[in-house]
Amino acid sequence: MKKRFSFSIVFIFSVLVAQTQDLPYARYCVNELTSKKYNGRGYVKDGSNRAASFLFDEFLKYSSDKPYCQSFSFPVNTFPGKMKVAINDKILNPGKDYIIGTACPAINGEFKIFKIDRNNYNAITTDLRNCFVLFDTLGCNGAIDKEYIKRFQLANTTAGYINIEEKKLTWSVNSVQKFPSIYILRNALPTQASKIKIQVDAKIINYTAKNIVGVIEGNQPDSFIFITAHYDHLGMMGNKTMFPGGNDNASGTSMLLNLMEHFSKPANKPLYTLVFISFAGEEAGLLGSEYYTDHPTKSLSKIKFLLNLDLMGTGDDGIMVVNGSIYEKEFSVLEKINAEQHLLKTIGKRGKAQNSDHYYFTEKGVPSFFLYTTGGRTAYHDIYDDGPGLPFTKFKEVFLLLSTFIITIK
């Protein structure tokens, strides 16, 4: 009888969750966060902190008490101004044809291009101080690999470097400046590249970002379940090219807000107190979550479990659970819910990985999952990861899985 009663409660709750999950609100949040007003939620034009203000207002709607901000600072290389690249006088499109290396300093000039390929990588005697060196790995059978390029850069003085990308441009964030570098898609590069005109405005700044923290009090106020998702993204590459960050991670932030909205309703009051954190600085190296675990506002030892949400916008193939093979008991709860409710195609599991904001909690003994959807759209860390095009393929199903897990876990 007890098992039947427990199942009935979970089943009834699951039906209610399916009715209350708010997909229009999810789409609104993603479209808002990926709009131009937040400039990619990075560091140019203070996009990250303007997004934080929006999220703070959303947290105000749902938190049991007033939400609060946790500020921290870090250096970051930014590209706030002009961004122009031309090869053989062919003007290239930023984000579409090329990306600038994240550690690129400011540069403005015209330079010769010296090509290193399978024919000459072992015999280079040219003075390269006024040249951009172009590495072409096509047909070199691995001879010009990352280690070769690294050794070459240490041994030679050049004006800068050009790397050829075959399929996709993937950008990131850096905290230092090294040497000028650029990554160009092969199909955008002229066959006989002989000169480059380049202008890049770059500036290292010390940026102060904010974690946003809200609490929904449960029936056991001193035991916690944490739900986290980073809201920052890559921002701007120059003053015109924006990286919207729809799937990464407006989608995870939207899922967090949906869960917060749901559990804020008196009928859905949870057993444990829920702590919701939107982290800043994830793309710069998990800085927001690292700062929080060094300066926690709740005792880490009282966290029953943490769910970190990223890349929640697809799900054609299911979800992946980082730390799933470490916390087998909790992973089996996810599998059971999924099997009973027929939600997702697969729930995969991985081991430990330093790839999102769960990591520093795990390192300090907090049992944690990092969950992300798999399959479908492949846009990631590029200009194509927008909000309006995000399919939300299995958003409702993942919401049901997570919300049921939150009330099931002991």
Domain residue ranges of the chain, discontinuous segments joined by +: 9-77+205-408, 82-200
Residue 14 backbone class (left: φ over 0; alpha: ψ -120 to 50; beta: rest): alpha
Does residue 130 register a pLDDT over 80? yes
3-state secondary structure at position 257:
helix
Q: How far is it, in rounded angstroms, from Cα 251 to Cα 155?
A: 44
Tens of pLDDT, residue by residue over 143-161, are 999 999 999 999 999 999 9
Does residue 355 register a pLDDT over 60? yes
Q: In the prediction, which pLDDT does 3 show?
A: 40
Question: 336 — phi, psi (to 5°)?
Answer: -65, -45
Average pLDDT, the chain: 95
Tens of pLDDT, residue by residue over 29-82, are 999 999 999 999 999 999 999 999 999 999 999 999 999 999 999 999 999 999
Burial of 176 (0-12, 13-18, 19+ CB in 10 A): exposed
3-state secondary structure at position 146:
helix
Q: In the chain, what is the straight-line distance between the N-terminal and C-terminal CA atoms, in Å?
A: 20
Does residue 125 register a pLDDT over 70? yes
Alpha helices, H only, 295-387: 328-341, 359-363
- Per DSSP bridges, beta strands 195-200 and 220-230 are unpaired
Q: In the prediction, which pLDDT does 21 show?
A: 63
- Per DSSP bridges, beta strands 318-322 and 235-237 are unpaired
| CATH code for the part of the protein at 9-77+205-408 | 3.40.630.10
Does residue 101 register a pLDDT over 90? yes
CATH architecture of 82-200: 3-Layer(bba) Sandwich (3.50)
Q: In the prediction, which pLDDT does 5 show?
A: 37
Burial of 5 (0-12, 13-18, 19+ CB in 10 A): exposed
* pLDDT band of 20, cuts 50, 70, 90: low
Nearest CA-CA partner of 334 in 318, 347, 353: 347
Q: In whole angstroms, what separates CA 181 from the centre of its chain? A: 23
Q: How far is it, in rounded angstroms, from Cα 105 to Cα 178?
A: 7
DSSP run (H or E) holding 209: strand 203-216
Q: In the prediction, which pLDDT does 410 show?
A: 86
Give the chain's radius of gyration (CA, Å): 24
Q: In the prediction, which pLDDT does 77 show?
A: 98
Least confident stretch, 8-22, 113-127, 303-317, 360-374: 8-22
Q: How far is it, in rounded angstroms, from Cα 123 to Cα 280?
A: 47
Does residue 117 register a pLDDT over 50? yes
Q: What is the pTM of this model?
A: 0.93
Helix axes 328-341, 2-20, angle to 10 degrees: 70
